[in-house]
């Protein structure tokens, strides 16, 4: 079996874990450009963790300017098998109040200004994405949250908006009427690219506000969000630490095939593939392209 390596995409501070051994920052170049930041490596017991600040240290990069392809490629390139995405979100449900951690299992992609695939002209692929979150991985994340007595809700739909502005009231009411549960700006195309890279993926959506639909709450504003984010930071660290402590040291096959997503996805026959694009896909799709 493959040795498990846990990737964590999230904000600064999550990687400041007690007991993290051999911490170090490393620059990982990719053929898709520069990731958001260097990768931060460390170990909990005999499990290696790789942290990536999604917006860069100091939160320098807005959601639509994140190089999602470089981020996912870099994690895959260093051997990550499973990726937990820790993200701040707004809530469309009264019962999903600020401070709740939601393990979403579906996405609604409303972004339009981002590169959403590693594949393209010269090598076409269509991966299955009906179930975007690896349920086996989510089981481990849920167990870690409950072991730490963190308020967690399993299941829900994450609407990904472009941003950087927050929703209008009309948009917020519409998304709520669609049955979406939370809203954020960063998990698309991140989740799609993770599937193309055959990484098991799970989102921990940390609720910071009620968007702007709630009649008893005002507009979303950065200071109030940062206050909740700060309050959630300790819970996020405890979740990651418990997850890493209890996580299987051998990668467990994904029950929905996230880690074999490219087995039947590439349509372009070998003789018609663009060699330059194939070369760029060495980390993401080398398992199937080399075969």
Annotated binding site for substrate: 185, 209-211
- Whether 68 contacts 117, CB under 8 Å: no
- Whether 100 contacts 205, CB under 8 Å: no
Annotated binding site for phosphate: 12, 54-55, 87-88, 186
Quick check: is 211 catalytic?
yes
The structure tokens 């996020």 sit at 236
Q: How far apart are the first and last CA of the chain?
A: 19
Quick check: is 246 catalytic?
no
Annotated binding site: 12, 54-55, 87-88, 185-186, 209-211
Catalytic residue among 82, 105, 181, 209: 209
Catalytic residue among 211, 221, 234, 246: 211
- Whether 141 contacts 84, CB under 8 Å: yes
What residue ranges in the chain does DSSP mark as E strands? 5-10, 21-26, 39-44, 47-53, 82-91, 101-103, 106-109, 152-154, 157-160, 182-184, 200-209
Residues assigned a catalytic role = 209, 211
């Amino acid at each position: 079996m493959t040795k498990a390596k846990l990737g964590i995409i999230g904000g600064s501070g999550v990687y400041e874990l007690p007991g993290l051994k051999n911490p170090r920052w490393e620059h990982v170049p990719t053929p898709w450009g520069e990731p958001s930041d260097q990768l931060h490596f460390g170990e909990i017991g005999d499990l290696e963790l790789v942290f990536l600040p999604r917006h860069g240290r100091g939160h320098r990069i807005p959601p639509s300017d994140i190089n999602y392809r470089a981020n996912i490629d870099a994690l895959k390139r260093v051997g990550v098998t499973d990726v937990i995405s820790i993200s701040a979100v707004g809530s469309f449900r009264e019962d999903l109040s600020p401070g709740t951690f939601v393990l979403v299992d579906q996405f609604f992609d409303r972004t339009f200004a981002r590169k959403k695939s590693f594949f393209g002209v010269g090598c076409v692929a269509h991966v299955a994405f009906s179930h975007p979150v690896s349920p086996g991985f989510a089981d481990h994340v849920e167990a870690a949250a409950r072991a730490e007595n963190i308020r967690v809700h399993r299941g829900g739909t994450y609407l990904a908006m472009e941003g950087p502005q927050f929703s209008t009231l009309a948009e917020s009411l519409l998304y709520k009427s669609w049955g979406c549960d939370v809203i954020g700006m960063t998990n698309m195309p991140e989740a799609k690219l993770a599937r193309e890279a055959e990484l098991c993926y799970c989102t921990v959506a940390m609720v910071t506000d009620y968007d702007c639909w709630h009649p008893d709450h005002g507009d979303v504003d950065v200071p109030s969000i940062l206050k909740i984010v700060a309050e959630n930071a300790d819970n996020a660290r405890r979740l990651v630490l418990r997850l890493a402590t209890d996580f299987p040291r051998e990668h467990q096959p994904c029950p929905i095939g996230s880690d074999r997503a490219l087995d039947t996805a590439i349509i372009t026959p070998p003789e018609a593939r663009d060699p330059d694009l194939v070369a760029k896909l060495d980390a993401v799709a080398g398992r199937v392209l080399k075969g």
